[in-house]
Amino acid sequence: MINVADYVEAARERVPPERWCYFEGGAMDEVTLRGNVAAYARWRFRPRMLVDVSEISLRTTLLGSEVAMPLGIAPFAMQRLLAPDGEVATARAAAAAGALMTVSTLTTSTHAEIAAAGALRWFQLYVLRDRQKTLDHIAEARDAGYSAVVLTVDMPYLGRRERDARLGFTIPADLHVSYGSLFETSPAVTWRDLEWIRGELDLPLVIKGILTREDATLAVEHGADAVWVSNHGGRQLDHVAAGLDALPEVVEAVGGRCEVYVDGGIRRGTDVLKALALGARAAFAGRAFACGLAVDGEQGVAHVLSLLREEIELGLGLLGCTGPEQVMRSHVEPVVPYDPLA
């Protein structure tokens, strides 16, 4: 196992297809799912030479918290479907690596169990039809020591995931999803609701699932502390922009007023570096870590974290940078399509 692709292949072999479909699949024709990965190949590096790169540090801060690398673990649901310890295994690996973990509303471990692992954690919140439950989650997040809340705004309805239907994915009756279900998210949430959420919250608020400059501007105007560019791993509306492709317009609209993150299709450390070059403060990955968890539990997540960490570090050095903050727009350029008539 020497790269994420090896883990993707091994996970597919290991987890039964009627379960793996939920983790691997996307919405409808999966155009966006494939697009997320493909987007990175449309950018190439412009490395700078003869820079002293004898000491490289990957450390950065996210909303003021120190992290060991500019790559975090995106919230993905129901991790006990992949390993007995589920979210606890992921959290232990994150803690050991000094990486940030985002915990899904649809966690199959309790906040207390996850907290015991000691990782820096953000809580991913869905606004549920039952507002009281949402308020309870906010209170629980505060009590459980989360350092920020990530409000996911791209799921008024669950996307149409045809692999799940075809292969008969079901949630086992004995799986304990402590805080909500896939079908409870509210389709009636608006920007106005951000006001009551902000009012209930004494933690930084991240808005996840933004794909346009218009919504990025609204998020900042409504007091977001960070905007997280995401298409939910191609699982919601098919035929939207890849995360990386939506990033530049969001970065421009935000204009430095808050932090910007991106996810979707991260499989290599070089993908993270391209995201940084296009203005993200950090990138997040979901499936790369899900594959690690499926293959080897805590050790699998830890190994995927260390592989990506090494790739980011090597990439920084070869790019002529000694830290994430040195990666600039000038370190990348679009790959120019071959024009046979030129």
Ligand X SMILES: Cc1cc2nc3c(=O)[nH]c(=O)nc-3n(C[C@H](O)[C@H](O)[C@H](O)COP(=O)(O)O)c2cc1C
Nearer to ligand X, 48 or 133 (CB): 133
- How far, in Å, CA of 258 to CA of 31, rounded? 30
Nearer to ligand X, 263 or 296 (CB): 263
The DSSP 8-state label assigned to residue 241 in this structure reads: P
- How far, in Å, CA of 224 to CA of 206, rounded? 6
Which of 62, 247, 266, 301 touches ligand X by CB under 6 A? Answer: 266
Q: 278 with 329: CB under 8 angstroms?
A: yes
Question: Could you say which residues in the range 149-208 bind ligand X, by CB under 6 A?
Answer: 152, 208
Q: How many helices (H) and strands (E) does the chain have?
A: 12, 12
- How far, in Å, CA of 230 to CA of 287, rounded? 14
286 interacts with ligand X by CB under 6 A = yes
- How far, in Å, CA of 239 to CA of 67, rounded? 33
Residue with CB nearest ligand X?
Answer: 286
Q: Which of 232, 239, 303, 331 is catalytic?
A: 232
Beta bridge mates, 226 = 206, 259
**Count of beta carbons in the 10 Å neighbourhood of residue 323:** 14
The DSSP 8-state label assigned to residue 219 in this structure reads: H
Coil, helix or strand for 231?
coil
**Count of beta carbons in the 10 Å neighbourhood of residue 50:** 6
Q: How far is the CB of 263 from ligand X (least distance, A)?
A: 4
Q: 293 with 79: CB under 8 angstroms?
A: yes
Closest by Cα among 20, 179, 170 to 108? 179
300 interacts with ligand X by CB under 6 A = no
Stretch that binds ligand X, among 13-21, 100-108, 185-193, 302-310 (CB under 6 A): 100-108
124 interacts with ligand X by CB under 6 A = yes
Which of 35, 70, 72, 75 touches ligand X by CB under 6 A? Answer: 75
The DSSP 8-state label assigned to residue 128 in this structure reads: B
**Is 232 labeled as catalytic in the residue annotation?**
yes
245 interacts with ligand X by CB under 6 A = no
The contact mask relative to ligand X for 24-63 (x = CB under 6 A, - = no) is ------------x---------------------------
The DSSP 8-state label assigned to residue 147 in this structure reads: S
Which of 285, 312, 319, 321 touches ligand X by CB under 6 A? Answer: 285
Stretch that binds ligand X, among 83-91, 156-164, 262-270, 292-300 (CB under 6 A): 262-270
Nearer to ligand X, 240 or 290 (CB): 290
Coil, helix or strand for 171?
coil
Which of 7, 20, 43, 76 touches ligand X by CB under 6 A? Answer: 76
137 interacts with ligand X by CB under 6 A = no
Stretch that binds ligand X, among 43-51, 159-167, 287-295, 310-318 (CB under 6 A): 287-295
Enter the tokens of residue 232: 């939910």
> Which residues contact ligand X by CB under 6 A?
22-23, 36, 74-77, 104-106, 124, 152, 208, 230, 232-233, 235, 263-266, 285-288, 290
Residues with a known catalytic role: 232
